[in-house]
Structure 1
């Protein structure tokens, strides 16, 4: 079973149909929300969306790894990643 991804355009269409504003304005709203989220995360701050979940930036330490193609051992450098923790309500709905 192939899962479908929700696109920015589909989000704009949903806002358009729910709120009744033009699709162009709805697309600008979606872009503004994602832009603000990017700025917040790149500044190292968390984003808490009530009844949805929390996005946080995590530091990952360097570790030993293996190149799957050659089998050669190598060090994977330290990096940052975004972590999502769903809210209790969302977890409950997912696990029904």
Structure 2
């Protein structure tokens, strides 16, 4: 997929507050409080290892990564990478479909590996 919108400004709290003000007639303070409650609640849910499902966007969850051995690309030296937590965003089918450009296909890493393995078998 092309990275075409790198120069656009990010969607911020200010954008959300302005949207609530325009569409619901709220004050800046009320809209800002709603935003803060929503973000704080999502933050706490992630810290409690709960999955967050956002309709049309996808799901966000904290995931434990196991430790592994990596390699320093400059020196080639083997390096141990410690276990850690990371956030994972799994996009919904709706957003994947809507982000497609001119018939471009979005595939998961597993689907790409399977396709590659299948093509190798066909060549053999």
Q: Does 1:55 align with 2:60?
A: yes
The answer for the alignment partner of 1:19 in structure 2 is 24
SS of the residue corresponding to residue 6 of structure 1 reads coil
Match of 1:64 among 61, 69, 74: 69
Stretches of structure 2 lacking an aligned partner (at least 5 in a row)? 1-5, 102-124
Match of 1:38 among 40, 43, 64: 43
1:2-50 Cα deviation digits (max 9, x unpaired): 2321111121111111111111110111111000000000000101122
For residues 9 and 67 of structure 1, what CA distance do their matches in structure 2 show?
A: 41
The answer for the alignment partner of 1:8 in structure 2 is 13
Q: Does 1:86 align with 2:57?
A: no
Higher mean alpha-carbon deviation, 11-20 vs 61-70, is at 61-70
**Which structure has the larger Rg over C-alpha atoms?**
2
Alpha-carbon RMSD = 1.8
The structure where strand makes up a greater share of residues is 1
For residues 68 and 95 of structure 1, what CA distance do their matches in structure 2 show?
A: 34
For this pair of structures, how many residues does the alignment match?
Answer: 96
TM score, norm. by length of structure 2:
0.68
CA 1:69–1:38 in 2, change beyond 3 Å: closer, same or farther?
farther
